[in-house]
Amino acid sequence: MISLAEPTPGFSALMRQYKRLVNDLLESLTLTPESISLSPSNDLLKSGISAGKTYLVKTGMVGVRSMGRRLFTWDEGDLILPDAAPDAPDSMQYVSEGPVILHSFDTLELVRGALASAETARLWTRLLMTQQSILLRLLASQSDADTQTTPGFAYYQPGDVIIGQGDKPDYVFSLFEGTADVIVDDVVVGDVSEGEVLGALAVLTHSPRSATVRARTRCSVVKVPKDQFKTLIRSNPTMIHGLMTDMAKQIKKLNEKVVQLSGAGAH
């Protein structure tokens, strides 16, 4: 994706993560896309693409417009998800100034494939969250400074606290680089690693943070504000599968640590 405005901090790293997730997801699925070659056009919806399909840009660039305004450009490696309201007056318009080759996927078939296993569901969840963060950052880059609201993109050094036990759950975190320890009452009870979503349970249950998450190595995270996360969940219910997988994994680690500590205490 190419931003038409000055990119916000962390934009490039988010785009690298997004393209990697798209590649990893499609390599994990056994789908055979249809290859479509398109000529330059001011309206690709009238010259070869469908609002109900999902497209991977193989070569060329696809510009996105809404209400006559150019928003951004999809480039090679980007996955173009269908507009949720293709018949609305402010629906997305797609343009190309040069030849474009797209790989076309049936959206329903793609989603079914993504939810067929825990691993692909997790990739799909991270992909949606990353794209949401990118689009919100693009919005922030085109807004006045005093009205900007954007998910935080942050780096943590070893020993830094990412989440504090007892804190208010204002964000959901997506950890896409590094590892961190999970600590309850100053006792390390587990760990989290690249690809896991942190803090969703507290946000969904409106509860204080039940544990501290402290960076073990250098960590990179996307902080999604709780209101934006809830909106994302409502508009993309398939995310719930991936979240449940990550939560179950974290609970399993916690149970194993509790058993280990209990055994040590018995001696």
pLDDT at 11 over 60: yes
> Which pLDDT score, from 0 to 100, does residue 145 have?
46
More confident call, 46 vs 11: 46
The answer to whether 242 and 126 have CB atoms below 8 angstroms apart is yes
Residue with tokens 């006559």: 68
Pick the closest to residue 211 from 202, 222, 203 (CA basis): 202
Its domain, for residue 167, covers 151-266
> Which pLDDT score, from 0 to 100, does residue 249 have?
63
Residues 162, 192 within the same domain: yes
Residues 23, 131 within the same domain: yes
Domain assignment of residue 65, yes or no: yes
Residues 162, 103 within the same domain: no
Domain assignment of residue 67, yes or no: yes
> Which pLDDT score, from 0 to 100, does residue 150 have?
45
Tell me how far apart the alpha carbons of residues 208 and 186 are, in angstroms, rounded to a whole number: 17
> Which pLDDT score, from 0 to 100, does residue 207 have?
87
Domain assignment of residue 71, yes or no: yes
Residues 38, 126 within the same domain: yes
More confident call, 258 vs 165: 165
Domain stop point among 89, 114, 141: 141
Segment 51-65, tens digit of pLDDT: 889 999 999 999 888
pLDDT at 134 over 50: yes
Domain assignment of residue 118, yes or no: yes
Domain stop point among 95, 117, 141: 141
pLDDT band at 97 (very low <50, low <70, confident <90, very high): confident
More confident call, 123 vs 67: 123
Residue with tokens 């880059």: 141
pLDDT at 151 over 60: no
Distances (CA, A) of 127 to 26, 104, 114, 243: 11, 18, 11, 13
Residues 102, 42 within the same domain: yes
Residues 184, 261 within the same domain: yes
Total tally of structural domains belonging to the chain: 2
Provide the mean pLDDT of the chain: 81
Distances (CA, A) of 73 to 43, 62, 97, 159, 214: 14, 6, 11, 39, 37
The answer to whether 38 and 99 have CB atoms below 8 angstroms apart is yes
pLDDT at 90 over 90: no
Give the CATH number for residue 47: 2.60.120.10
Residues 33, 129 within the same domain: yes
Domain assignment of residue 231, yes or no: yes
pLDDT band at 142 (very low <50, low <70, confident <90, very high): low
Domain assignment of residue 146, yes or no: no
> Which pLDDT score, from 0 to 100, does residue 82 have?
83
Q: What average pLDDT score do residues 69-92 get? A: 82
Q: What average pLDDT score do residues 124-135 get? A: 88
Q: What is the largest CA-CA distance in the chain?
A: 74
> Which pLDDT score, from 0 to 100, does residue 28 have?
94
Domain stop point among 141, 165, 187: 141
Residues 187, 134 within the same domain: no
Q: What average pLDDT score do residues 7-24 get? A: 83
Segment 166-224, tens digit of pLDDT: 999 888 888 878 999 999 899 888 888 887 888 887 887 888 998 999 999 999 888 88
Residues 66, 114 within the same domain: yes
Residues 170, 114 within the same domain: no
Sign (positive/negative) of CA torsion 217, 220, 226, 229? negative
pTM over 0.85: no
**In the chain, pLDDT over 70 holds for what percent of residues?**
79
Domain assignment of residue 230, yes or no: yes
Residues 176, 136 within the same domain: no
Q: Does residue 27 come out as left (phi exceeding 0), alpha (psi in the -120 to 50 range) or beta?
A: alpha
pLDDT band at 149 (very low <50, low <70, confident <90, very high): very low
Segment 245-261, tens digit of pLDDT: 665 666 666 666 656 66
Tell me how far apart the alpha carbons of residues 148 and 155 are, in angstroms, rounded to a whole number: 20
Tell me how far apart the alpha carbons of residues 175 and 187 are, in angstroms, rounded to a whole number: 21
Residues 6, 128 within the same domain: yes
> Which pLDDT score, from 0 to 100, does residue 220 have?
87
pLDDT band at 109 (very low <50, low <70, confident <90, very high): very high
Dihedral, 179, 17, 131, 65 alpha carbons, nearest 10? 160
